[in-house]
Amino acid sequence: MRIDKILSNLGYGSRKDVKKLLKDGAVKVNNVVVKDAKQHVDPEKDSMTLNGEEIQYREFIYLMMNKPPGVISATEDNRDETVIDLLGVEDLVFEPFPVGRLDKDTEGLLLITNDGQLSHRLLSPKKHVPKTYFAVIDGEVTDEDIEAFKNGVTLDDGYETKPGELVILKSGLTSDIELTITEGKFHQVKRMFQAVGKRVIYLKRLSMGPLALDETLELGEYRELTDEELDMLMMYEPK
């Protein structure tokens, strides 16, 4: 890959900025100053430095966001702000995208990456990756609902859901629950509650496969996955 492309991909500026860095003799490849922007470099094998500092090349980026409400889980939208609009330029250069969708009003765990293979593995309907949500429900959630979700419920379009695991945290005029599902149909949690005559008034995703929301992230904040989280994701074999 061309050295100017590598450096601009890594966020060291536009191609023009990078050309200047090269011209100034700031960049070395295998300890030799490189001034030619067209020079090809193998980022896996060649060592690169900028002003004497080693440049760590990488292809993929993995971010965990605590998605705020009011923001769309997409890369672009004509009307609304997207989760990608919340990222810094140093992350945007990797052209990341959200793994799956949360509704505009849903909060919580959203993985954002440019690793298409990982995204596919986590989203494939064949893989049954469990996702756990916390929700506040308008009305009293009961043991019958637990049973109904265990057996699968019929959504408004006739679709029979796979079993969902419902845990009641608090039951009353409004109820707090956790629900784990292994599918990702459009508005699935809301429609599952609709199927038992109840309404979701707050929804937050807590986990997806082995990845749990870092509760220290404020709404709208994000961070890179830790090495441990990334290892868990990479080794994860959904059933």
Using DSSP's 3-state secondary structure scheme, residue 63 falls into: strand
Say how many C-beta atoms besides its own lie within 10 A of residue 95's C-beta.
11
189 binds ligand URA (CB under 6 A): yes
Structure tokens at 185: 């149909």
Question: In angstroms, what is the C-alpha Rg of the chain?
Answer: 22
**How far apart, in whole angstroms, are the C-alpha atoms of residue 195 and residue 193?**
5
Amino acid letter for position 181: I
Q: Is 40 helix (H, G, I), strand (E, B) or coil?
A: strand
Q: Catalytic annotation on 103?
A: yes
When the beta carbons of 184 and 210 are compared against ligand URA, the nearer one is 184
Smallest separation (angstroms) from ligand URA to the CB of 205: 6
Q: Does 187 bind ligand URA (CB under 6 A)?
A: yes
Residue 203 sits in the site that holds ligand URA (CB under 6 A): yes
Interaction mask 98-117, ligand URA, x per CB under 6 A: ----xx--x-----------
Size of the site for ligand URA (CB under 6 A): 8
**Cα–Cα distance, 175 to 139 (Å, whole number):** 6
Catalytic residue among 46, 77, 103, 214: 103
Among positions 25-84, residues that touch ligand URA (CB under 6 A) are: none
Report residue 4 as tokens: 């100017």
- Judged by CB, which is closer to ligand URA: 50, or 206? 206
Catalytic residues: 103
